[in-house]
Amino acid sequence: MHTLPAVTEPLTTKSRSEMIEITKLVQRHVQINRVTDGMVIVYVPHTTAAVTINENADPDVKHDLLRKLDALIPKAETYYQHGEGNSDSHLKTSMLGNSVTVLIERGKLILGTWQGIQFCEFDGPRTRSVLIKIVSFDRPTSD
Amino acid sequence: MHTLPAVTEPLTTKSRSEMIEITKLVQRHVQINRVTDGMVIVYVPHTTAAVTINENADPDVKHDLLRKLDALIPKAETYYQHGEGNSDSHLKTSMLGNSVTVLIERGKLILGTWQGIQFCEFDGPRTRSVLIKIVSFDRPTSD
Amino acid sequence: MHTLPAVTEPLTTKSRSEMIEITKLVQRHVQINRVTDGMVIVYVPHTTAAVTINENADPDVKHDLLRKLDALIPKAETYYQHGEGNSDSHLKTSMLGNSVTVLIERGKLILGTWQGIQFCEFDGPRTRSVLIKIVSFDRPTSD
């Protein structure tokens, strides 16, 4: 068992709220490093952007999810004290979470049929980054 | 340190929204495999079902939790675009999360007195599955 | 690769809802144990207290986050059945989650500029505890 250094991947977002699927990006690192058995931790180092695992097919799900989050947690509340006007973005981030753990077996991410890894921007547009850390459970080879 | 292959356990749900405690199911895999020190990742491979750690005693907590979630995020909103009528299920899933990590020490899950591992159905009734992946921190034995 | 036993740290909270930053507490355990490369799992063994990663600078963010959570999920609802009057605390806990995983590289927690590890009390004031489990990816040394 060993680990690979965490890799930072840049992301550019285009809207205030947006979900960007990064499944292939993560899978690519698993393949490049020829990890057969292990796990990957996808970690967002921001406080107004999150990562979640959800629908990879119909983009309407992303629309509905973001729209409903905005309805529940609008940008402004009379009692908000934080001066940057993004308190809603902070709460959405904590609700969805800033990291996910995905298992790797036979060189592939274990994901359900409809699951994709979704980076969630809640205070864009911005330049963001995501950390990909692979923990390999393979025995070290002597090649 | 080594890992065991992820095991898939089937679950049958009976309502649209439902919490099913799976603590004993997870603990059983820890015992069968005689893992003393390690961690278990409980992973739900669906996009409309989640897993969380919460109250294992009074069933009223589950009732209240699900009821309030339904009040906050009802099944229908005029702006929903997704055709399957389960956008609320997707959002609830991302809010609660699709995996939990529980530590194992002395052969047992480290859980607080009132904590149980709760599978959360948000678009049932359905046949579901949950993945149980054990990472053992024990030294390999030569028996 | 090896692990250290989970350490339990006590916390005392002063309000019903409160966020207490525990980043330095967690970092101290990483340093004491001289872990260079690894990960730490911060685990809350309660069902009405959570842990999240969010803003470490402006305390107004904490205020706004807790205030908005209270507005969304007030203490009382006519349909609550649980007799302890803390159903809201249980739901907030499941929404924010009861554990976070933080990576360690070069002896330090990998956190974004504005990120801090925040213990979240939702049913205080109380005496609480938090578990800190370090998994080291360092090779064992023979000193």
- The single residue listed with the structure tokens 């796990």 is A39
Residues of A in contact with B88 (CB under 8 A): 68
**pLDDT for the residue numbered C141:** 61
pLDDT at C87 over 80: yes
H or E stretch covering A35 = none
Nearest CB neighbour to A90, from listed C65, C105, C137: C65
Integer Cα distance of A7 and C43 in angstroms: 25
* C82/B96 touch (CB, cutoff 8 Å), yes or no: no
Position A129 confidence tier, pLDDT thresholds 50, 70, 90: very high
Q: Does ipTM exceed 0.85?
A: yes
Residue A128: Cβ-neighbour burial (10 angstroms; 0-12, 13-18, 19+): buried
* B64/C77 touch (CB, cutoff 8 Å), yes or no: yes
Which of A16, A135, A21, A142 is CA-nearest to residue A67? A16
Integer Cα distance of A37 and B134 in angstroms: 12
SS (H, E, C) B9-65: EEEECCCCCEEEECHHHHHHHHHHCCCCCEEEEEECCCCCEEEEEEECCCHHHHHHH
Q: What is the pLDDT of residues C20-39, one digit of tens each?
A: 999 999 999 999 999 999 99
Rounded to the nearest angstrom, the minimum Cα separation between B135 and chain A is 9
CA distances, B20 to each of A136, B45, B59 (Å): 32, 16, 10
**pLDDT for the residue numbered B142:** 53
Which of C115, C120, C116, C141 is CA-nearest to residue C130? C120
β-bridge mates for residue A133, sequence order: A41
Q: What is the pLDDT of residues A29-75, one digit of tens each?
A: 999 999 999 999 999 999 999 999 999 999 999 999 999 999 999 99
* C114/A90 touch (CB, cutoff 8 Å), yes or no: no
Domains within chain A, CATH numbers bracketed: 2-136 (2.60.120.460)
Alpha-carbon dihedral sign for residues B90, B91, B94, B97: negative
* A103/B41 touch (CB, cutoff 8 Å), yes or no: yes
pTM assigned to the model = 0.97
Rounded to the nearest angstrom, the minimum Cα separation between A1 and chain C is 7
Residues of B in contact with A60 (CB under 8 A): 80-83, 87
- Per-chain mean pLDDT for chain A: 95
Exposure class string for C102-128: b at 16+ Cβ within 10 A, else e: bbbbeeebbbbebbbbbbbbbbbeeeb
**pLDDT for the residue numbered C2:** 76
B-C C-beta contacts closer than 8 Å: 94
Nearest CB neighbour to B97, from listed C84, C97, C135: C97
A-C C-beta contacts closer than 8 Å: 94
Mean pLDDT of A128-135: 97
Q: Nearest-CA residue of chain B relative to A58?
A: B82
* B94/A54 touch (CB, cutoff 8 Å), yes or no: yes
* A95/B91 touch (CB, cutoff 8 Å), yes or no: no
Would you call B2 helix, strand, or coil by DSSP?
strand
Residues of A in contact with C115 (CB under 8 A): 45-47, 98
Position A141 confidence tier, pLDDT thresholds 50, 70, 90: low
* C87/B64 touch (CB, cutoff 8 Å), yes or no: yes
Residues of B in contact with C41 (CB under 8 A): 39, 101, 103
pLDDT at B60 over 80: yes
The set of chains that have 3 or more CB pairs under 8 A with C is A, B
Residues of chain B that touch chain A, judged by Cβ-Cβ distance less than 8 Å:
1-3, 5-6, 41, 43-47, 72-73, 77, 79-84, 87-88, 90-91, 93-95, 97-99, 101, 131, 133, 135
Residues of C in contact with A98 (CB under 8 A): 53, 100, 115
Number of continuous H segments (helices) and E segments (strands) in chain C = 3, 9
